[in-house]
Amino acid sequence: MSEDVIFQPLDWPNLKVKNRIFRSSISGRFDNEDGGVTQTRINWENKFARGGVGAIISSYVPVLMEGRIIAGYATIHDDRLIEDWGKLAEAVHLHDCRYIMQLSHSGRQMDIPGVYNQQRPALSSTSNKESLHGFLCKAMTARDIDTTIRAFAQGARRAREAGIDGVELHASHGYLITQFLSSGINDRKDAYGGSLQNRARFLLDIIGAIRAEVGDGYHLQVKLSGIDHNNVIPWEGKGNTLDEGIEVAKWCEAAGADAIHASIGSLFPHPLMPPGGFDFETIASTYDAMISSGVDTLRNYLLFRYPLLRPIFKWIWFRMKKHYPVEGVAAEVAHAFKRNVKIPVICTGGFQDAALVRRLINDGWLDGVTITRALVANNDLPQQWRAGRDNPDRPCTFCNKCLLNAPKNPMGCYELERFGGDWDRMVQELMSIYETKPDLQIPDRAAA
Partner 1 sequence: MQADNFVTAVQRHSARSRWRRTAILIVVAIIFLIGFVALILGGVALARFSDSSTPHYENIVEHFKYGSIGSEPESGLPYWLWQALPKLYPEEFKGRDDYKAFGFLYEEDEDGSQRDLPIGVSQRRVSGVDLVWLNCAVCHTGTVRMTEDEAPTIIPAMPSNNLDLMRFIEVVLDAGPDPRLAPDNLFPILDDMGAELDWIDRLVWRLIVMPQVREGMLDQRAKLGELLEAQSDWGPGRVDTFNPYKLLEFGKDFDDLDDDEIHGAADFPSIYYQGPRDGMQLHWDGNNPSLQERNLSAAIGAGVTEETVDHESIERVADWLLDLKPPANPNSEDPEVLTAGRDIYMDRCVACHGYRGDDGGYVFAGETLGKVTPIGEIATDPGRLNSYTEELSVLQRRLFEDDPDYAFENFRKTGGYANMPLDGLWLRAPYLHNGAVPTLHDLLMPEADRPGAFVRGLDLFDVEQGGFVAPGCTPGESVEAGFCYDTDAPGNSNAGHLYGTDLSAEQKSALLAYLKTF
User: Would you say 16 or 408 has its CB closer to partner 1?
Assistant: 408
User: Would you say 212 or 295 has its CB closer to partner 1?
Assistant: 295
DSSP state, residue 224: E
User: Mutual orientation of helices 82-93 and 142-161 as an angle, nearest 10°?
Assistant: 50
d(C-alpha 4, C-alpha 183), whole Å: 41
Quick note: the x/- pattern for partner 1 over 87-116, rule CB under 8 A, is --------------------------x---
Q: How many residues lie near partner 1 (CB under 8 A)?
A: 10
400-to-162, 230, 247, 274, 389 alpha-carbon distances in Å: 32, 20, 31, 8, 23
d(C-alpha 365, C-alpha 61), whole Å: 28
Q: Provide the minimum distance between the beta carbon of 243 and partner 1 in the complex, in angstroms, as a whole number.
A: 37
Q: Site for partner 1 (CB under 8 A): which residue of 2, 118, 428, 436? A: 118
19-to-4, 234, 349, 352, 439 alpha-carbon distances in Å: 10, 41, 18, 15, 34
DSSP-assigned states of every residue in 82-96: HHHHHHHHHHHHTTT
119 binds partner 1 (CB under 8 A): yes
Cis peptide before 269 (omega within 30 of 0): yes
User: Would you say 294 or 412 has its CB closer to partner 1?
Assistant: 294
Q: Provide the minimum distance between the beta carbon of 71 and partner 1 in the complex, in angstroms, as a whole number.
A: 12
User: Would you say 33 or 281 has its CB closer to partner 1?
Assistant: 33
Dihedral of CA atoms 107, 253, 261, 123 in degrees, nearest 10, equals 0
Q: Site for partner 1 (CB under 8 A): which residue of 2, 141, 195, 292? A: 292
Backbone angles phi, psi at 368, to 5 degrees: -165, 165
Quick note: the x/- pattern for partner 1 over 124-153, rule CB under 8 A, is ------------x-----------------
Q: Provide the minimum distance between the beta carbon of 406 and partner 1 in the complex, in angstroms, as a whole number.
A: 20
Residues 197-236 that bind partner 1 (CB under 8 A): none
Residues 14-73 that bind partner 1 (CB under 8 A): none
User: Would you say 7 or 301 has its CB closer to partner 1?
Assistant: 301
Q: Provide the minimum distance between the beta carbon of 138 and partner 1 in the complex, in angstroms, as a whole number.
A: 9
DSSP-assigned states of every residue in 375-392: HHH-TTHHHHHHTT-SS-
Q: Are 35 and 74 in contact (CB under 8 A)?
A: yes
Chain residues that interact with partner 1, rule: CB under 8 A: 113, 118-121, 136, 292-295
